[in-house]
Amino acid sequence: MTEPHRTMANDGAAAETAKPGVVKFDRWVGIFFLVVCAGLFYETFFFRTFDWDPVGMAFWPRVLLGVLAVVSVWHIVAGNAGGQPMEAFTRRAFVPFIGGMAYVLLLDPLGFFILTPIAILLYSLWLRPFSGKALLTAACLGIAGTAVIYLIFEFGMNIYLPRGILE
């Protein structure tokens, strides 16, 4: 796979685009999906079967995996079927995902009331240049945002939010 080159997108963000016609990333995606198909097809042999059910619960996934395998082979053979270059990944984009997963892991142990204001504060600060004013507004946003969400869900909808260590 050829190394993608950098271009500046219209919105001002540094975006990487591949040279059209050179990087046939669909082939790599096709190979990836073929491997996934093989793994999942193997898994279907462990599904329970019953004599009274001639079709079985493996039937439908196998049909789908068959279709996916055929299209993947087509992608491997034909390459970049859509003709459009891929868009590059940027490290910054993964920060919200990592932060979100950290929130998921900490929600039960720490609880909504401790975790949410901290998460909002950190995320807000990360999105803008740091300053004393930014810190103050982010802290206020964290407290106000948590209070509004609490009011909507616990008071409005009777949904119990996890208390964590405050329980």
The residue within the footprint of another protein, chosen from 1, 35, 127, 135 (CB under 8 A), is 127
> Which sign, positive or negative, has the C-alpha torsion 41, 42, 44, 50?
positive
Residues 34-63 that bind another protein (CB under 8 A): 40, 43, 47-48, 50, 53-55, 57, 59-61
- What minimum distance in Å lies between the beta carbon of 94 and another protein? 7
Q: Which residues of 115-151 are buried (b: 16+ CB within 10 A; e: fewer)?
A: bbbebbbebbbeeeeeeeeeeeebbebbeebbeeeee
- Close Cβ partners of 50 (under 8 Å, ≥ 6 residues apart): 56
Shortest distance (Å) from residue 95 CB to another protein: 6
Number of residues that bind another protein (CB under 8 A): 77
In Å, how far are 117, 148, 149, 151, 152 from 156, measured between CA atoms?
A: 20, 10, 10, 6, 5
Nearer to another protein, 31 or 145 (CB): 145
The one-letter amino acid at 14? A
Of residues 137 through 166, those in contact with another protein by CB under 8 A are 137-138, 141-142, 145-146, 148-149, 152-153, 157-162
Residue 130 touching another protein (CB under 8 A): no
Among 29, 34, 114, 139, binds another protein (CB under 8 A): 29
Binding letters toward another protein, positions 56-95, x by CB under 8 A: -x-xxx--xx-xx--xx-xx-----xxxxxxxxxx-xxxx
Among 34, 41, 103, 114, binds another protein (CB under 8 A): 103
CB-neighbour burial class of residue 1 (10 A; exposed 0-12, middle 13-18, buried 19+): exposed
Among 5, 19, 128, 163, binds another protein (CB under 8 A): 128
